[in-house]
A and B are shown apart, each in its own frame.
Chain A
Amino acid sequence: MAEQPSQEYINVSYTMGRPYRWAAGKYLSKLYKEMRDHKKLVANRCPKCREFLWPPEMVCGRCKVRAGDKWVELSDKGTVVQYTYMVFPLWDPHKGERVAEEHPYATILLDDGMYVVSRLEERDKGKLKVGMRVQAVWKEEGRGHGLDEDILYFRTIEQ
């Protein structure tokens, strides 16, 4: 027979709220707004070296010159360069909720040469492959909240 506990033990539970505000700034906000309102990915580019700045930035990191407001629309197709299958429900710091469902999560190289990290539609682990071609599926109503919010997931496409 199991030993009876000698007394009642109390667990003290509490939740610490860590409120913070985060400003996306002028250039990142432009990307988020285009994603939310027009379902487009945009980047600006350095006037000197002509490199795309991704995510959009104020100053080119190599040339140290102002990037300016010349915006270019990017392709929303790309190639999976690495992926993982998320099982553990991580906290979403923007929503204060856990992402409960299992889903594949991938780094995708867009056709214009930028990397994005997003979910994949394909949930069959056997069909997940490095090098598979994918295209963004946009949410009907974006909230202007970054990649996780406005892109639902990336769908496998034939080339």
Chain B
Amino acid sequence: MAGKVEESERFVFNGKIDIPNKYSAGTVGSQFLIELRDNKKIIGIKCPICSQVYVPPRSTCKYCFGKLSDLVKVSNKGTLLTYAVAYQPSPIQPVEPPIAYGIVQLDGANTGFVHMLGEVDPAKLKVGMRVKAVFKVKKERVASVKDIKYFKPLR
């Protein structure tokens, strides 16, 4: 039974832990996702006191803490506030790299909306450029924020 352990005999195991998660999008969050799925429309919510328009909608104003219920339609077009490009592949990323993530302020909204940018060379991205939402086809839309494929530059 004596004998040395060779280098090649060492075991390395691959762990395969997957953590399944589920959360409720809530009242206004659900309406936002349903609107994406059914009508290809992006909706926000307006605070009647301070006139902030939140996209995606939330049920409480973060400035005046008022309860929000005034859903408003915002444009599918917007302005790129900032962006980042990810080159490292990772199982938590929604698509294959390189992925350009952008924060887009849609016309009619006061807040930035985080999504991916597509149909664009990452080197040509510019803060302040005009972008437009590209939706998936009807049968692929499942009331997820990924029903928007990405935002592409307006030419």
Residue numbers of A with Cβ under 8 A of B are: 7-30, 32-33, 42, 69-73, 91, 93-96, 144-145
Task: How many A-B residue pairs have C-beta atoms within 8 angstroms? Tell me.
Answer: 114
In the complex, are the beta carbons of B25 and A25 less than 8 A apart? no
* A144 CA to B23 CA, complexed, in Å: 38
B114 contacts across to A, CB distance below 8 A: none
User: Shortest 4 CB-CB distances between A and B: which pairs?
Assistant: A96-B16, A17-B91, A20-B15, A24-B11
Chain B residue with minimal CB distance to A36? B11
Binds A, one of B30-38, B97-105, B133-141: B30-38
Report B-chain residues with C-beta under 8 Å of the C-beta of A93. 15-17
| Known contacts A10-B24, A29-B9; is-contact A16 B2 (Cβ 8 Å) | no
- Chain B residues within an 8 Å CB radius of A11: 22-25
Q: Are A19 and B91 in contact (CB under 8 A)?
A: yes
Contact B144 A12 (CB under 8 A): yes
The yes or no answer to B27 lying at the interface (CB within 8 A) is yes
1/0 contact string of B1-41 vs chain A (CB within 8 Å): 11111000111111111111111111101110110000000
Are B1 and A94 in contact, CB atoms less than 8 angstroms apart?
no
Can you list 14 residue pairs at the A/B interface with Cβ under 8 Å? A7-B27, A7-B31, A8-B30, A9-B24, A9-B26, A16-B19, A18-B18, A19-B15, A19-B91, A20-B15, A29-B11, A69-B4, A73-B1, A95-B16
- The answer to whether the Cβ of B72 comes within 8 Å of any Cβ in the partner chain is no
CA distance A32 to B11 in the complex (A): 8
- Using Cβ atoms and an 8 Å threshold, which residues of chain B touch A8? 30, 34
Known: A17-B92, A29-B5. A91 touches B15 (CB 8 A): no
Given A11-B22, A17-B19, A20-B14, 20 more A-B residue pairs with CB atoms under 8 Å apart are A7-B30, A9-B24, A9-B26, A9-B30, A12-B33, A12-B144, A13-B20, A13-B22, A14-B20, A14-B21, A16-B19, A16-B21, A18-B15, A19-B14, A27-B5, A28-B11, A29-B10, A71-B2, A73-B1, A94-B16
| In the complex, residue of chain B having the shortest beta-carbon distance to the beta carbon of A37 | B9
Q: Could you tell me which B residues sit within 8 Å of A by CB distance?
A: 1-5, 9-27, 29-31, 33-34, 91-92, 143-144
**What are the residues of chain B within 8 A of A33 when measuring CB–CB?**
5, 9, 11
Residues of B within 8 A of A18 (CB): 15, 17-19
A21 near B21: Cβ-Cβ < 8 Å: no
